[in-house]
Each structure stands twice: as C-alpha cells, then as structure tokens.
Amino acid sequence: MVEAIAAAAVPLILAALGGLLSEQAGVLNISLEGCMASGAFTASLVLISGGTVFLALIAALAAGILPGLLLALSHTGMKANLFIAGLGINLLIPSLTGLISRKILGHKGTIRIPETALSGFNHSGLPIITWMMIPLALIFAALVYRSEFGRRLRTAGSSPSFLEERGIPEARVKTLALVISSVTASLSGAFLAFRIGGFVPGMSAGRGWIALVIIWLGFRSYPGILIAAYFFSMIEIAAGKAQGITQLPSTLILALPYTVALLALIIAAIGRKMGFHRIREVNRIFRK
C-alpha cells in the first residue's frame, strides 16, 4: 500500500516541483497538464518503436522543452497573457498527439506499451524513481535557495528590475524557469505512461491542475509539496479501491481527488485569512 501511494505520487511531485520553480520566477506554468500529455505520448511512441526506456525519457525531455519555449515566447516575447497562453498549450497538445498518432499509427486512440519494453519496471510504479522523490525535492530546494541561479530565479519573481540593472535579462531567466518546469511535467507524464503501461488520450486526468493545487497547499515550499502530493496520491488510491466495495457511481468516486482539492483550497484560503488577521492583531498589540 505504501509503495503504491509513493508510486502514484511520482507524477504529481515532478510536475509540482517544476511548477513551484517557475512560480518562484514569477511565471506560474499553467500548461503542466498539456506537458504531461506530451511526455506520456512521446515516451509511449518511442517504446513501441523499439526504443529503450532511457531513450523514451530523453524523448520526453525534448518534448517538454518545446511547449516551455512556446509558452515563454508567447509571454515574455509577445507579452501574451500567461494564463491564456498556458490554456492554449493545454488545448493544443492533445490535438497534436491525436494528429501525430493518426499519421503514424493510423488511429488516435490508445498506445499499448509491450511489457518487454518495460522490463525492470512494474505496474505499481518505478521502484527506484519512486523513492528518489524526496532527495529530488531537496535538490530542487538547494538549487533555488543555495545557488546563483536560484538567487536570479527568485529575484526575477520579486524584483525583476534588480536583474536588469545588473545586465541580466529578466526574460532569459523566466524562459529557463518555464522550460525547466515544462520538462519536469513532461517527464512526469512519461513516468505515468510507464506506470499504466501505455498512453490513453486524457490519461493525465487533471493531474497537471492538481499539481498546481499542490503548490499552494504545500505553502509554496518543497517539503510541503511532498506532503500534499502523498496526500492526494493516498486519496487517488483510496478512490480506486472504493469502486469495488461501494454502490456509489464510479464517476462520483473518481471525482473524489478533485473534490478534495477544491475543499482543501477553500480550507487553506480560510486558514490563511484567519492567520493573517491574527498576525495583524499581534502587531497591533506590540505597537501599543
């Protein structure tokens, strides 16, 4: 059970880590959902073509760079609204995967990965990668808070004019942040495809949006992302098991993670508001 929860959390953690990194640069990546679909499709296509898992991951990485550059070009280059541009990519990628699939495979449906192509992996997840998420979160935290790149990243999000005064283009830093974010989301889609053994249109099933929720529920911190991701993973596993032991409609059960996400956001918003008022009252007391 613990291993299943940890495995299901891998795509959420990867996407949320990249999403938080771009958010800290002041450019929240709305296109995580589309990037996950891109990575899952590309990795599956490479594997059914005779490629190795390593090649599939490299291909998924490349597939994540493209939407990241497109989003950066739209926002930092052409000054398009970041949210609208991200939504556009989320709509564009599923259409492209369907078009490419029809041209190459003759259909735009499911791609089933042969079990031999995933030798060394099992359907409960990637045994090695599953337990690398905590060290990976620590690496991201070190990169953001203990490196020169991380300082530039956070400055781009808080004081972009400070970068320009020192001859560092703000657009370049934000572009790199968006590309890294898109790559991690694309890789998370590849791992999702490995886990279920193929590609199915819509297989990300809102995980990219849940990753964005995880960023805020984790209080925009890397340890918080891990906790929130494992929580949602546990809800997902519980919803899957509940289908066989309850008379409730399956659609209602499968909607449980999204219902929990909405309720969690409402509770978190109320909690932050109450906490803010308490802090303000304490400040008033000290001023007196």
Q: How far apart are the first and last CA of the chain?
A: 54
Contact between residue 212 and residue 195 where contact means Cβ atoms under 8 Å apart: no
Location of structure tokens 């956001």: 265
Q: Going by C-beta distance under 8 Å and a sequence separation of 6 or more, which residues neighbour residue 262? A: none
Q: How far apart are CA 245 and CA 159, in angstroms?
A: 53
Helices (H), the chain: 2-24, 32-48, 53-72, 82-105, 127-130, 133-146, 148-158, 160-165, 170-196, 207-217, 222-242, 250-254, 256-287
pLDDT band at 279 (very low <50, low <70, confident <90, very high): very low
**What pLDDT, on the 0 to 100 scale, is given for residue 142?**
93
Average pLDDT over residues 76-102: 91
Average pLDDT over residues 68-78: 93
CA 5 to chain centre: 17
How does the average pLDDT of the chain come out, rounded?
84
**What pLDDT, on the 0 to 100 scale, is given for residue 246?**
67
Q: How far apart are CA 20 and CA 43, in angstroms?
A: 24
233 or 287: whose pLDDT is higher? 233
**What pLDDT, on the 0 to 100 scale, is given for residue 280?**
45
Q: Give the tens place of pLDDT for each residue, 203-218.
A: 888 899 999 989 988 8
Average pLDDT over residues 40-66: 93
Structural domains of the chain in order of their starting residue, each with its CATH number = 2-287 (1.10.3470)
